[in-house]
Structure 1
Amino acid sequence: MREIGDGNVLLRIDDHRADVVLNRPERRNAMNQALLRDLRTALEEVDDRDDVRAMVLSGKGDVFCAGMDLEMMKRRGEDDAPDLEMGLDDVTHFIDDMTVPSVASIKGAAIAGAFELVLPVDFRIISEDAKYGVIEVELGLFPSGGATQRLPRLIGLSKAKELVLTGDYIDPREAERCGLVHEVVDDRSATDDRAREWADSLAENAPLGMEHARRMLNAALETPLEQGLELEGELGEKLTETDDYTEGFTARLEGREPEFEGQ
C-alpha cells in the first residue's frame, strides 16, 4: 500500500480491486483540504487504470471518517477565510462519474460530510455500532455536500427529510431496511474484509457491462423512460460487438468461468 500525495490517502491494487484508504487516523480520518486533494488524486488513478474493475473506499483505524475537519469548517465562517481549493462535491461528483463500481466500508462512524461522501458509492457496508447520519442542522448549516439531492433518490423524500431535518443518527439496521446500506456487519473489525469481498465479487463480472449498466442506472431517475430505453438498447447492442460478449457466452456454454479482458 502506497501513499498518495501528502500521504492522507493510501492506495493498493490487489488483482482487479483497488483499495483507497483515508489515512488520518489520529483525527478519525476527518477530511481537510489535503485529504480531499489526495483522495481526488487516488480516485483519478483508479479510474484511469485498465486493470481495476472494482474499488473499496475505507478508513485507516477504527473509524471510517468523522466528517469534515471541524477546525477547517470553523475557519470557513471567518471574514478572511480563503476559498476552498477542493470541496467535497469535487470528490463526490467524480465518484458519480467513475467507470468502476465502488464499495464503501463504513466502520465506527460516517458523520455529516462522511455520510455524504459515501452516498454516490454504489454499495455501502456498515458496522453494527457505527454512528451514521447528517448532523449539519445541529452545527448551524445544512448538508450541502449532496445529501439533499442524493438521499431522496435513495430512500424517498419523507425519510430523507427525517434524517436531514432532525440531524439524528440512523441505526445501521434501519439503514439496511430502508435501502440506505446494503449489509450490516456485526464485528467492526470485519467490515473492511467484507467490503473487499463485495468488490472482489464485482470484479469477476464483465467490466464493460458493469460500466454501461452503472451509467444507465445512475441516470435512470432523471431520464425520460423512452429516452432511457433507447439509450439502453444502443449500449446493449454495442456490447455484442466486444470480445467480452463472446467470451461470456462461450464460457457459459463450455461450463467454465469467463476470463474477461474489458475489450
Structure 2
Amino acid sequence: MLIETKRDGRTVVVTLNDPAKRNALSPDMRAEMVAALDPVMLDRDVRAVVLVGQGNHFCAGGDLKSMKSGDPIYARTRMMITARLVRLLAAGPVPVIAAVEGAAFGAGLSLAALADINVVSRTATFGAVFGKIGLMADVGLLWALPNRIGAARAKRFLLQNTVVKADVAPNGLIDQLCEPGQALGHAMKIAASFENQAPLPLAATKSAFSQMADFDRALALEADLQGFLMASADHEEGRAAFFDKRDPVFKGA
C-alpha cells in the first residue's frame, strides 16, 4: 500500500509509504490518499490528521515516471484526482498537521503548505522546481503558498525555481521548527491538543478559511493550465532531461 493509516486516540496518522521513491506522489498514491482521507474526514470521533512520509523524506514531488506527455485526457484526469485531494486537506472538516523531514519538493511542498499546521525539521528542504520540467505549481500550491508567505514572495518563489532549507525558509511557510527526527513527535502533541475540542467549530473554521480566497477558481485554473502544460513538448523534454541528468532545451512548444 502506498498510503498507510493508523489510529491513535482521536488522531489518524496518514503515512506516504513509498520510501524508495522518496514518497513521490504518483497517481496511485493520490488515489489511495483520497480513499483513505474520505472516511477519516467523515468520522465524527476524529479530531486531527497527521501527515508524514515513511523513511527519511516527506515527499519528493510528483512521480515523473508516471507522467504521460502529450495526453490531455490523462492530464485532466490526474488534475481532477489532485483537486479532490486538495479539497480534503484544505477544506475538509478535520485539522491536518504535516510532519516534515527531509525533502518536501513540488507536490511535497504543496502538501506541507496546505496543512493547517506544519512541523518541520531544521534540516528539511523545500523546493519548487516545476519550471525545470516544463510545468507550473499544482496540488493547490498556487492558492496555499500566497496564503502562507504573501503573493509577491510566492510569485518569486515559484518563478525562480526556489530551493531553500527550512531554517532559512520565508516567514509563514513553517509553523513550528524542530530538531531532526522530532517532527512526528511534535506533530502528535499538537494533534492531541484538538482531542477535546468541539468538532463543528473546527470544521466551520477550516471551511471559512478555504472560502476567504478564491479557492475554487485557483483549482480550476490549476487544472486548465497544468493540463495544457502536461501535454506540451517542453514538458516531455523536461522529463527526458531529468532522467538523462542533463539541462533541458525548451522551445516554447
1:50-89 to 2 correspondence within 5 Å?
50-73=44-67, 76-78=68-70, 82-83=74-75, 84=77, 87-89=81-83
CA distance in 2 between partners of 1:112 and 1:23 (Å): 17
- Bigger relative contact order (CA 8 A; separation at least 6): 2
Aligned pair partner of 1:201 in 193, 200, 203: 193
Aligned with 2:164: secondary structure?
coil
Query: How far apart in 2 are the matches of 1:203 and 1:92?
Result: 24
Between the aligned partners of 1:60 and 1:15, the Cα distance in structure 2 is 21
Higher-Rg structure is 1
Query: When the two structures are superposed, what TM-score results if normalisation uses the length of structure 2?
Result: 0.77
Distance 1:48 1:90 in 2: 15
Match of 2:153 in 1: 159
Q: Distance in 2 between matches of 1:164 and 1:38?
A: 28
CA offset at residue 79 of structure 1? 5.2
Tell me if the contact between 2:3 and 2:36 (Cα under 8 Å) persists in the aligned partners: yes
Quick check: 2:92–2:206 contact (8 Å CA) kept in 1? no
Q: Pick from 151, 171, 177: which aligns with 1:178?
A: 171
Q: Compute the displacement of 1:181 (Å).
A: 1.1
Write the mapping of 1:118-197 to structure 2, written as runs, cut at 5 A.
118-175=112-169, 178-187=171-180, 189-197=181-189
CA RMSD of aligned residues (A): 2.1
TM-score by length of 1: 0.75
- Helix, strand or coil for the counterpart of 2:56? coil
- Range 63-72 or range 135-144, more displaced: 135-144
TM-aligned CA deviation for residue 57 of structure 1: 0.6
Segments of 5+ residues of structure 1 without an aligned counterpart are 1-6, 224-263
Please tell me the residue identity of whatever aligns with 2:208: M
Which AA in structure 1 matches 2:149? Answer: I
Asked if 1:217 is matched to 2:216, the reply is no
Question: Following the alignment from structure 1 to structure 2, what is the Cα–Cα distance between the partners of residues 180 and 33?
Answer: 26
For residue 32 of structure 2, what is the aligned residue in structure 1? Answer: 38
Aligned to 2:20: 26
Residue identity in the other structure for 1:181: I
SS in 1 for 2:202: helix
Residues 117-146 of structure 1: per-residue CA shift (max 9 Å, x gap): 232210111111111121101221211332
Unaligned runs of 5+ in 2: 216-253
Aligned to 2:229: none
1:183 shift after superposition: 0.8
Sequence identity of aligned pairs in percent? 27
> 2:136 & 2:74 partners in 1: Cα distance?
21
Matching residue's letter, 2:131: V
What is aligned with 2:247?
Answer: none
Measure, in 2, the Cα distance between the counterparts of 1:97 and 1:186: 30
User: What is the Cα deviation at residue 80 of structure 1?
Assistant: 9.3
